[in-house]
Amino acid sequence: MAEKAIAIRGLNYSYPDGTKALKGITLNIAEGESVGIIGPNGAGKSTLLLQLNGILRGAGNIKIFGTEVEEKNYGKIRGMVGVVFQEPDNQLFMPTVFDDVAFGPLNMGLAKEQVGERVEDALTKVDMLPAMRKTSHHLSFGEKKRVSVATVLSMSPKVIALDEPSSNLDPKHRRGLIDLLNSFDMTKVVVTHDLDLVSKVCSRVIIIDRGEITADGLAADILNDRELLAKHDLAAD
């Protein structure tokens, strides 16, 4: 069996107001796996995603390639787990596209030449190299989304975690995003409501409802189980 990319043991998390967001999550994800996390609104999907690199910390234990997610390892963990946030305007905060994509590698302490190479490489992968010197508020939404992915790719993460990657994208850009995700061979975790995207990108699906894992299995099995999807408010009709 491939190495465990993500190992979560007994993870509990409550919001500051006391609401329980995650209850006893235990989960293993193997290296190279592509996992879709689905569930109704407010189920705790995004909260779980932010636990993977220590942005949110709950009680329990998370290991990324054997390294525990704790404060002293944050630098290493954040180099391994790239999180693409839902809202690109939060992800892109630097004055130019180049600076945004270089932000991660510079924080990793890479040499300047290497940073330059990484930036060009990442922007080429998402087909945004010509926009390198542009300011991100001069980009369209779809372009911003692709640059957001590049800001994480430039860090060469072993795990890429995306929060609602297809939200607000038009059909053409959404298709482009699916192709882009399928071209990555690192471990992927995608939190989304877009079941079609899951079926095209993920081999495994996990359903989270009210902070608990209620189903975990092959994408083909879960996505065809209409009864199960309806039970968790995931069926459209």
Partner 1 sequence: MHYLPADKYCGVKSLIHNLDPRVKIGGLVLYILAVVSTKPEAYSSFLLYGLLVFLLLFLSKIPLSYLLKRSAVVIPFVFFITLFIPFLKEGEVLRQFSFGTINLSLSREGLMIAWNVLIKSYLSIVVIIIMVSSGNFADLLKGLERMGVPSLFIMVISFMYRYLFIIGGTLTAMKNAKDSRSVGGARWLQTRALGNMVGTLFIRSYERGEKVYLAMCARGFDGTVKTMAEAKLKRVDIIFISTSFILLSAIFICGRFYG
Of residues 26 and 140, the one with the C-beta less far from partner 1: 140
Task: Rank residues 53 and 187 by Cβ distance to partner 1 and give the closer one.
Answer: 53
Is the separation of the CB atoms in 104 and 152 below 8 Å? yes
In the complex with partner 1, the residue whose CB is nearer, 162 or 223, is 162
Q: Could you tell me the smallest distance in angstroms from the CB atom of residue 106 to partner 1? A: 4
Residue among 105 and 211 whose Cβ is closer to partner 1: 105
Can you say whether the dihedral through the CA atoms of 221, 223, 225, 227 is positive or negative?
positive
The Cα–Cα gap between 1 and 204 comes to 16
CB of 48 to partner 1, least distance (A): 15
End-to-end CA distance of the chain: 39
Query: Encoding tokens for residue 37?
Result: 């996390």
- Strands of the sheet containing 204-209, edge to edge, are 81-84, 159-163, 187-191, 34-38, 204-209, 212-218
Closest approach of partner 1 to the CB of residue 96, in Å:
5
| Contacts with partner 1, residue ranges (CB under 8 A) | 50, 53, 55, 74-75, 78-79, 82-83, 85, 87, 89-96, 99, 102-104, 106-108, 112, 115-116, 133, 135-140, 151-152, 155
Closest CA to 229 of 181, 203, 196: 196
Q: How far is the CB of 57 from partner 1 (least distance, A)?
A: 12
Task: Tell me the one-letter amino acid at 7.
Answer: A
CB 37 within 8 A of CB 190: yes
Min dist. Cβ of residue 56 to partner 1 (A): 9
For partner 1, which is the closer residue by CB, 52 or 207?
Answer: 52
Min dist CB 92 to partner 1, Å, is: 8
Give 3 or 89: the residue with its C-beta nearer to partner 1. Answer: 89
Which burial class, exposed, middle or buried, applies to 224 when counting CB atoms under 10 A from its CB (0-12, 13-18, 19+)? exposed
How far apart are CB 195 and partner 1 at their closest, in Å?
A: 26
Among candidates 86, 67, 85, 87, which has minimal Cα distance to 77? Answer: 67
Kindly tell me which of 140 and 167 has the beta carbon lying closer to partner 1. 140
Closest CA to 176 of 207, 212, 142, 151: 142
